[in-house]
Amino acid sequence: MSSLTLERGLYDLKAAIDAPIASFFSSCVHCGLCAEACLFYVETGDPKYTPIRKLEPLRRVWEQEYTLFGKLKKLVGLSKAVTDDELEEWKELLYASCTMCGRCSQVCPVGNDIAYMVKKAREGMVSSGHAPAPLVGAATRAVKIGSPMGVKWPAVQNQIKHVEADTGLKIPVDVQGAEYMPLLSSMEIINFPEYLGALAKIFKQAGITWTLASKAFEATNAGHQIGSSDIERELVVRVVDEAERLGVKFVIGPECGHAFNAIRWDGPELIGRPYKFRVLHIIELLDQLRAEGRLKVDSKVTERLTFHDPCNMARKSGIVNEQRNLLGMVATNFVDMPDNGIHNWCCGGGGGANSMEEYEHLRLKAFGRKRWQLESVEPELLVTACANCRLTIEEGLEHYKMEIPIAGLTEMIAEHLKEDESAA
C-alpha cells in the first residue's frame, strides 16, 4: 500500500472524529460490558473481539491528535503512529467480527455508541485501501450497475413477468402519483422472489396504490456497509430523486435491515434536507393495514414458531410490537426466544460480514448465540423479516445440523390472506 494511500486513510480517520466520538473515547470507563454483549466475543472468548478494542486505531488517532497527553506521548515516542500493517490486521475486527448490530452500544453504561464509531472508523479503512475486497466489489457494482449483486432492471422485469403469471396481478412500474413505492433488496430479487408476489397480494387486498421505480428499485446500500458516506449518499439520492419524481407519499423499506437504516435514518442527513415523503419499513406498513382492518386472513399456522428480530429493525428502529401483532393474526403457537426484541442477538451476517467467505469459520462460531436461543424454545418454524438474516441463519442451521425451516413474515401474511379478497 502506498504511503499516500495510508496518509489519506489516516486523514479520514482523523476527520471521522467528530464531537460524539471524542466524547465517547473520553468517557469510556473500560468496564467490559460491551464485550459481554458481542456475540463474537461471547462465542470465541477471545479478548481481541471486545467491541471497544476494535476501535483501537481510531482511539490512537484521537489520543495523538486531540488530547494533550496523547500529543506528549507521540512527541517522546511513547505512542506510535497507526501503520499500514495494523490497519490490515484490523480489517477482520472492523468488518468480519462486527455487524454494527448495536448491542454493545445498548449496554454501555455511559451511552457510548460503539456501532456508530465502527461505521466512522470504516471511512478510514476505505480510503486507506483496507476495506474487504468483497465489499469493495459490491460497492463498485452498486455505483456502476445499480445493485451490489449485479442485478439489472431486465432481471427484475423477468421476475415481474413470473409474479404476474403466478398471481394474475399487475405489478405497477413507474406510476406517477402512486401512494407507496416499495424497494427491493438484491437478496430478495435473487433468493426470495416470492416477496414481490406477496406485496402484490397484500396491496391488492388492502386497496392501496403502489409502484416500483425502474431507476431506483434497489434498497441495499453498499456504501452504508463498507463505510463510505459518499457512496451511501449517492445511492440514497437515486431513491430520493425517483420517489420525488413519481410523487409518492411513502417509500417502503423491504425486509432488509441495513437498507432500511440507510434510507430511513442516514438519508436525510446525507442529502442535507428532509424528504418530501415518509419512509416506512414494510412491517410497519403491514401493521398499520392490520390495525385499520384492511388485512383479512382465513387460516393460521399451527406449528410452534418463534421470531428472529433483525437488529436494524428492532434495536435501532424500535420496530418490535408490530411483527408480534402480525404474527398474532396468523399464528396460534408463537413463543419468543430469550433475549428477544431490542435485546436480540444478531444473526452474525449483517454489515457486510456474510460476504466475506474467508471468515466464514468465525461467523459460524458466532452463530452459537443464535443456536442457544433457538434450542431454548425448540421451534418448528422460524420467522424473520430480513433477507440477509434468513440467508445467514440458513447457513448456521445447516452447519449445526438444525432442521428448522425459515419463513419471511411478509410472505407468511400473504399466504394466509382470504383468497376471495386477494384475487385479481
**Band of residue 154 on the pLDDT scale cut at 50, 70, 90:** very high
Q: Would you state the pLDDT for residue 334?
A: 98
pLDDT at 5 over 90: no
> Can you give the length of the chain in residues?
424
Mean pLDDT for the chain overall: 94
Query: pTM for the whole thing?
Result: 0.94
For 189-238, the pLDDT digits (tens) are: 989 999 999 999 999 999 999 999 999 999 999 999 999 999 999 999 99
- The CATH class given to the 144-291 domain equals mainly alpha
Pick the CATH number of 305-419 from 3.40.50, 2.60.40, 1.10.1060, 3.30.70: 3.40.50
Q: Would you state the pLDDT for residue 416?
A: 96
Q: Would you state the pLDDT for residue 4?
A: 73
**Band of residue 314 on the pLDDT scale cut at 50, 70, 90:** very high
Q: Would you state the pLDDT for residue 272?
A: 97
Whole-number Å distance between alpha carbons of 151 and 354: 18
Instruction: Give residue limits of the domains in the chain.
Output: 3-131, 144-291, 305-419
For 364-396, the pLDDT digits (tens) are: 999 999 999 999 999 999 999 999 999 999 999
> 76-80, 112-116, 266-270, 289-293: which has the minimum mean pLDDT?
76-80
Q: Would you state the pLDDT for residue 1?
A: 52
Q: Would you state the pLDDT for residue 2?
A: 59
Q: Would you state the pLDDT for residue 15?
A: 87
Q: Would you state the pLDDT for residue 422?
A: 41
Percent pLDDT > 90 in the chain is 90
What integer is the mean pLDDT of 406-421? 90
Q: Would you state the pLDDT for residue 421?
A: 43
**Band of residue 327 on the pLDDT scale cut at 50, 70, 90:** very high
Q: Is 402 exposed, middle or buried (0-12, 13-18, 19+ CB in 10 A)?
A: middle
In sequence order, the β-bridge partners of residue 279 are 251
Other CB atoms within 10 Å distance of the CB of residue 371: 17
What integer is the mean pLDDT of 41-68? 95
**Band of residue 424 on the pLDDT scale cut at 50, 70, 90:** very low
CATH topology of domain 3-131: Fumarate Reductase Iron-sulfur Protein; Chain B, domain 2 (1.10.1060)
Burial 228-261 (b: 16+ CB within 10 A, else e): bbebbbbbbebbbebbeebebebbbbbbbbbbbb
pLDDT at 6 over 80: no
User: What type of residue sits at position 190?
Assistant: I
pLDDT at 134 over 90: yes
User: What type of residue sits at position 243?
Assistant: A
pLDDT at 98 over 80: yes
Q: Would you state the pLDDT for residue 423?
A: 45
Cell 456497509, residue? Answer: 225
